[in-house]
Amino acid sequence: MAKKIQEVEETKEEAIEEIVAEEAVLEATEAVDEIIAEENAKAEEPKTTKAGKKSAKAVKEAEAAEAKAERKAEQAEAGEKTPHIQKPRVKKYSKNMKSMREAVELEKLYTVTEAVALIQKISKAKFDPTLEVHVRLGIDPRQADQQLRASTVLPAGSGKSVTIAVLTGDAKKAAAAKEAGAAHTESEVLLEAIGKGTFDFDVLIATPDMMVSLGRHAKSLGPKGLMPSPKSGTVTADPANAVSEIKKGRLEVKNDATGIIHAALGKLSFSADDLVSNVKAVLACVQTNRPTGVKGTYVKSVSLSATMTPGVRIDPTEVTGK
């Protein structure tokens, strides 16, 4: 009898343990379900992260863009145009630059004569500045048939001394070039110096027969702009004449990698008439040597400036004549 009672009690205890285990499993399952539900709720809420499409910064930027679009739409409906405000390239100008900029009407197109007179009037440099012209062309410099490279003689000269070297195999031509003003005419000495990387000259002139010897130095002369070229008049059978022209003020006119021409036209101490004649000579050279591959507008803008002065815009018709 006692044995049966003991078995019944053990059965009760096992049943109680099973019930407790089941309740624990249920509680654990409910707890897990609650955790999952909370995580899902959090995932549905908009997040603000440090970066990304849903960041607080991105939200503000989107709101600002929408507000800007709404303002533009309102202005378009009212027939108003958004004013274009030219931001200054520098935040602060010196007193002299401020006074010079105030004297120039930045949106006005001046004639060459007016621009030269204005620049001479407003310049405050304590030295003799150089007058420069800058012409923006509608060309693609990457295309060979749209590159500009020519030369012209400045009627009033350039106002600076130029050291000229001449390469020629003819002793008579070398002597004539020396008499015309060339500083170096010894071909063998020149070739040896160029091979060593010594360039004691500003312009190099060569006769056609010397171009074979000069070809191996193209990599060193080309980047410095010293390689002779028929287009610039530095490859010629008459080096003495080329030397005399350069001494008088012959200028090479060519575009840079961005399609802009930069040329020095003389010192600001020149008379206004001399500077005007130099400017017009360069602009005429630009127009007459228009590349064959150019389509559309050739001359987009022209400006004159001197060292440490603001640019003065020139009417492009001064170049094209239209």
The β-bridge relationship of strands 149-153 and 250-254 is antiparallel
Q: Which helix (H) or strand (E) holds 263?
A: strand 260-267
Strand order in the sheet with 260-267: 260-267, 130-137, 299-306, 312-314
From 3.40.50.2300, 3.30.70.2740, 3.40.605.10, 3.30.190.20, which CATH number describes the 107-159+250-322 domain? 3.30.190.20
Residue found by looking up tokens 């509680």 in the block: 27
Tell me the HSE value of 174 on the side-chain side, using a 13 A CA sphere: 12
Single pTM value for the model: 0.60
d(CA 202, CA 82): 51
d(CA 277, CA 114): 13
Q: Residue 123: which of 315, 322, 306, 313 has the closest Cα?
A: 306
β-partners of residue 134 are 262, 303
- Helix intervals (H) in 79-197: 95-103, 112-122, 171-180, 187-195
Encode the chain (322 residues) as per-residue pLDDT tens digits.
565 566 656 666 666 666 655 565 455 556 545 655 565 555 555 555 554 555 777 788 888 888 888 887 777 777 655 555 555 566 678 888 888 888 888 888 999 999 999 999 999 888 999 999 999 999 988 888 888 988 888 888 887 788 899 988 888 998 998 888 888 888 888 888 888 888 888 889 999 888 888 888 888 888 888 888 887 788 888 988 888 888 888 888 889 889 999 999 989 999 999 999 999 999 999 999 999 888 888 999 999 999 989 999 998 887 766 5
Going by CATH, does the domain composed of 160-248 fall within 1.10.3470.10?
Answer: no
